[in-house]
Structure 1
C-alpha cells in the first residue's frame, strides 16, 4: 500500500499598511534574513519585494509593498500607492499591518480598501512590545475586528520576532493546496544588482536629514562578479546641486561613510567581498517625472 503524499499549500501573501508600520521588518523577521531595507523613516520601501519562506507543508511567498499614504503630490507618491494597491490583486491572502501604539489617517486609507479585497485578510497588530499598557490591546482588537471580517487577528512584535509562528499557521490555513511556486533554495525574486541599489539607498535614508532622502535614488551603472568578488559602480541621483553637496559632505566624508556602510551590508548579504564606487549627480525633478521614474526602474513592479 503506497504512502499518501503529504498535502502542500503554497501561495502569495501581500503585506500592506501605512508607511513606517513595520511591514519590511515583519518580512525580514518571517524569513529570518534581510531582503527588504529598513529605516526609521516612512516610505523607505519603494518597490514590491518578494520573499519566499519554505516551512514544513507550505511555501509562503510574501509580497512587501510601499506604504499606502494620502499624499499624492508627486509622481513618486502616486507610483508608491499604485504599487501597493496592485499587490492586493491576484494574491491568496492579505496581511494588514497596523501599529499597536498609533493610528493615523493613512491607516484609514488602508481600511477603506479592504471591502474590495477578495482574498482572506489577516490583521496583524505590530509593535505590541511598545505598548506600555497591555490592557489596551483587547479593546483595540475588538474595535478593529468590528470594521472588517478578518480571517484572524494576530498581535506580534516583528522587531522581537514574537508570535510569528502563530501568524504563519493562520496564513497557511488560507493558502490553497498546490506545488511550490519557487525553488526551495530561492529567497527572493530580486537580483543582487537590485539589492545593491536598495542597500545604498538604505544608508542614504538612515544617514541624511528628514527631507533629503526622498530626493535621492540609486542607479547601478555596473555590476561585475568575479568569483566571490563583486565590483559595483553606482550613481546617486539628487534633484538640486545643493543636495549633491550635502550627500557628498565636507571633503567627501559623508559619501565615504554611506559607501562603507552599504558595502558592509552587501558583503553580509552576498557572502562575498565587494568593491563599491559611488558618484552623485543631479537630475532635476526626477521624483515628479514619470519618464524619469520608469528609466530608474520604478515601473518594474
Structure 2
C-alpha cells in the first residue's frame, strides 16, 4: 500500500448467481461462513465475513445474486442487494473465467453504475482454475471493455487460493483510512442460529432436483444444552418446502436422504460451534411460502 495508514471498510461481491461469490468469501475469510452450492441463488442473506490483515480489515458482504425476480421472495432479495450497494466502500464485480460475458453481467454492471455511481469498483475474474492460461487474456480484455480501462481487474481461483493475496491488497488499497471495525479474531457478525440454518439448507440442497433450491427454507426452533451433559447441544430444526412432493424428495426412501442431510449438517455445525451436537430435523410443507408475505415474514425474509 502507498501509505502506512490502517484501512477498514465494507466490500461487496456482486455478480450473477453462481459466479463464485460465496466460495470467494469463504476462501478469503478462511472459514465456511457463506454456504456454497452448485445451485444458483443459494445465498439468501447478507453475510459478513471479516478479513484481518496487519494493515487492513475488510468486512466482506456477500449478497444474493441480482436477478430478474419472479416471486415476492425474489423481489425482496433484489431489494436487499440494492440497499447494500449504497452502503459499502468497494464493489467487486465477479465474472467467471469459463463463461462469456452476457446480458446478465451487463445488466448487473448497469445496476451498480446506476445505484452506486460514487462507489469504487474492482473487477474479479473468478474460477481461473477452470480455463487454460491462453484463454484468460481474451476474457480479461472483454471484462476491461465492459467496466472501463481505469478499473483494476484481478483474476483469482478461490479453489486453488490463487492470487487471493493480490485481491485483498487491491481491495484494501481502496478502503478509507480508519480503525478496525470488528475485534481481532472475529470472523462474522451472523448469529450462530442463522449460520446453522444455512448449513442445514446447504446439506439439503446437495444433489437434489432443480425445482428445490428456491422452495427450501430452514428455521432453527431450539438450541439447548443437554441436561445431563456439558459437552452436548440439542439442536431442533425445521426444513420447510412448498409441496408434499418436495417433502418426499428431502426425506428420501425410508428417510435415508434426511439422515444423510443430518449427518452432513451436524459435522459442519460441530465445526462451527466447537462442540458436539444432536441434530433433530423435521420436514414441513408451507404451501407457496415464497409468494405469501405472512409466511415470508415467519421464515425470516
Q: What range is the shorter-chain TM-score in? A: over 0.9
Unaligned runs of 5+ in 2: none
CA–CA distance in 1 between the matches of 2:225 and 2:128?
A: 43
| 1:274 corresponds to which of 272, 277, 292 | 277
- Secondary structure in 2 matching 1:180: coil
- SS of 1:95's equivalent? strand
Contact kept in structure 2, 1:8 and 1:58, CA below 8 Å: yes
- Normalising by structure 2, what TM-score? 0.92
Instruction: Please show how residues 221-232 of structure 1 align to structure 2 within 5 Å.
Output: 221-225=221-225, 227-232=230-235
Q: Cα distance, 1:228 vs. partner?
A: 4.0
* 1:173 maps onto 2:177 in alignment: no
1:91 equivalent to 2:88? Answer yes
**Bigger Cα displacement from structure 2, 279-288 vs 224-233:** 224-233
Cα displacement (A) at 1:267: 1.0
RMSD: 1.5
Which of the residues 38, 41, 44 maps onto 2:39?
A: 41
Contact preservation (8 Å) 1:69, 1:109: no
The alignment status of 1:287 with 2:283, answered yes or no, reads no
- TM-score by structure 1 length? 0.92
1:262 is matched with which residue? 265
Deviation string 1:226-284 (CA, Å, 9 cap, x unpaired) is 65432110011111122212211221111111111110111112111011101111110
1:146, CA displacement in angstroms? Answer: 2.4
Q: Secondary structure at the match of 2:282?
A: strand
Partner secondary structure for residue 87 of structure 1: helix
Q: Are residues 199 and 143 of structure 1, via their aligned partners in 2, closer, same or farther at CA, if it must alter by over 3 Å?
A: same
Residue ranges of structure 1 left out of the alignment (5+ in a row): 1-5
Secondary structure of the equivalent of 2:57? strand
Aligned residue for 1:147, secondary structure, equals helix
